[in-house]
């Protein structure tokens, strides 16, 4: 009898445990799906207010269904470094915003990304939002891995008053004329251009990329290819030579060892006449007041060049179907007409959703954005962005080579060879 009672007691305990476990699973499945989202669109980032409004609206609409676990990582480079660490650890968040950097290929090499092609095929309204070239830019081997959020045609901005003081009537049409204008500005006691040498030297590299992209048909094709391994072409070396002259003779002293923030502040404070950058910087200009904005112009790069508006978008690193589905719901939300329209108004950015028109009222209120939209149609040469086209270790190598180039410690040929050596390690 004692044995029978003991067996019955064990059965009761086992059944209780099974029931308890079953009830926990059922509760968990009925609750919201928590997805990890890593972002650098926080703090002083120009897009932070818009992104915060997206999160607030999403949380309200999907309350009880999807919960966002947001990891804030201020600073572009810090963010990219953290994502690379996650890739190496096989711990990529459900949602990663590439922000123009090439994280896609690193993540694909680690088999860490969700193929988003089935989601596009299953939802024709979602697929119809995007330009074909944006989707191609976010695809590899016929499969879609990234969802674009914005377009970023990059021009350069110039201070009209400083140009006038130097006797310059309009932006240069050729690179020879551009180099002459640098000398004219310097002769008038004006520092010509904002540049940098760290964090992949964004400002300096925009000039370098534009030179390579517009010097010849061959170099334009090279600038548009993905993951080049040889940087030793005559046009690339010529572009590096011009960039080195700019760094050594026509920029501020703090460019050597300086980051983007140094160059941006110099332009915003009227210490430099030009800065290469995208439309997102307009919000920084607006904070300086109407008088400052009215005194600015924007232009194509010499030889009528402009950076392609296409850029890498959001990647999905989910490990299961439920989390991938929830992540895609967020991507559908952030690219809908309402959120994209808000982006134009709050962030001065050009939407990836082609159904969103930038109204005349917005252009009247933001004439610089209107100029950039117009320049897109006038550009004769288009080329890609080094951060999204070059191997990530080559982009990292720029931090070692640019300071040496700016100090005159290496030649343009040595700079090109250093990048080639880095690329060949892949």
Q: How far apart are CA 310 and CA 385, in angstroms?
A: 9
Q: How far apart are CA 411 and CA 413, in angstroms?
A: 5
Main-chain dihedrals φ then ψ at residue 350, nearest 5 degrees: -95, 125
Over residues 122-133, the pLDDT tens digits come to 999 999 999 999
pLDDT at 100: 76
Q: What size, in residues, is the chain?
A: 426
pLDDT at 99: 80
In 194-295 the beta strands, taken as DSSP E runs, fall at 272-277
DSSP labels, 173-195 = SSHHHHHHHHHHHHHTT-EEE--
Look at residue 23 and tell me whether its pLDDT is greater than 50: no
Over residues 80-99, the pLDDT tens digits come to 999 999 999 999 999 999 88
Architecture of the structural domain at 155-308+367-423: 3-Layer(aba) Sandwich (3.40)
Q: What's the angle, vertex CA 93, arms to CA 91 and CA 96, rounded to 5?
A: 130
Over residues 46-78, the pLDDT tens digits come to 899 999 999 999 999 999 999 999 999 998 889
Query: If one looks up domain 33-152+311-365 in CATH, what number appears?
Result: 3.40.190.10
Question: Across all residues in the chain, what is the average pLDDT?
Answer: 91
Kindly report the pTM of this predicted structure. 0.81
Distance of CA 198 to the CA centre of its chain: 17
Main-chain dihedrals φ then ψ at residue 307, nearest 5 degrees: -70, 140
Over residues 351-364, the pLDDT tens digits come to 999 999 888 888 88
Hey, CA dihedral for 303, 265, 41, 368, is it positive or negative?
A: negative
Over residues 295-326, the pLDDT tens digits come to 999 999 999 999 988 888 999 999 999 999 99
Over residues 334-344, the pLDDT tens digits come to 999 999 999 99
Pairing of β 191-193 and β 305-307: unpaired
Residue ranges of the domains in the chain? Answer: 33-152+311-365, 155-308+367-423
- CA proximity to 421, closest of 405, 401, 403: 401
């Amino acid at each position: 009898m004692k044995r029978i009672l003991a067996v019955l007691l064990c059965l009761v305990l086992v059944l209780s445990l099974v029931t308890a476990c079953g009830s926990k699973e059922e509760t968990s499945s009925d609750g919201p799906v928590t997805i990890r989202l890593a972002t650098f669109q926080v703090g002083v980032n120009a897009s932070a207010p818009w992104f915060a409004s997206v999160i607030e609206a999403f949380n309200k609409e999907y309350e009880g269904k999807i919960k966002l676990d947001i990891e804030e990582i201020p600073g572009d480079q810090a963010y990219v470094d953290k994502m690379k660490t996650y890739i190496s650890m096989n711990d990529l968040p459900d949602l990663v915003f590439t922000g123009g950097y090439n994280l896609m290929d690193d993540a694909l090499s680690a088999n860490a990304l969700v193929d988003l092609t089935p989601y596009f095929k299953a939802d024709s309204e979602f697929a119809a939002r995007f330009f074909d070239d944006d989707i191609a830019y976010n695809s590899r081997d016929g499969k879609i891995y990234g969802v674009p959020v914005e377009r970023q045609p990059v021009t350069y901005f110039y201070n009209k008053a400083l140009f006038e003081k130097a006797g310059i009537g309009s932006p240069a049409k050729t690179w020879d004329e551009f180099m002459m204008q640098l000398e004219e500005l310097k002769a008038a006691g004006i520092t010509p251009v904002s540049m940098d040498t760290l964090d992949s030297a964004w400002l300096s590299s925009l000039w370098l990329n534009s030179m390579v992209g517009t010097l010849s048909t061959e170099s334009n094709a090279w600038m548009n290819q993905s993951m080049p391994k040889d940087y030793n072409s005559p046009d690339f070396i010529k572009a590096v030579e011009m960039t080195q002259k700019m760094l050594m003779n026509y920029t501020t002293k703090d460019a050597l060892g300086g980051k983007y923030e140094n160059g941006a502040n110099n332009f915003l404070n009227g210490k430099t006449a030009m800065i290469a950058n995208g439309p997102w910087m307009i919000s920084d200009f607006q904070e300086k007041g109407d008088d400052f904005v009215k005194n600015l112009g924007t232009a194509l790069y010499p030889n009528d060049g402009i950076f392609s508006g296409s850029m890498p978008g959001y990647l999905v690193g989910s490990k299961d179907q439920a989390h991938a589905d929830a992540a895609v719901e967020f991507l559908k939300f952030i690219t809908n007409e309402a959120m994209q329209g808000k982006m134009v108004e709050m962030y001065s950015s050009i939407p990836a959703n082609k159904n969103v028109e930038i109204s005349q009222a917005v252009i009247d209120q933001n004439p610089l954005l209107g100029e950039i939209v117009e320049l897109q149609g006038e550009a004769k040469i288009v080329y890609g962005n080094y951060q999204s086209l070059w191997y990530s270790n080559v982009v990292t190598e720029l931090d070692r080579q640019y300071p040496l180039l700016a100090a005159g410690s290496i030649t343009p040929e040595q700079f090109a060879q250093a990048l080639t050596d880095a690329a060949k390690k892949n």
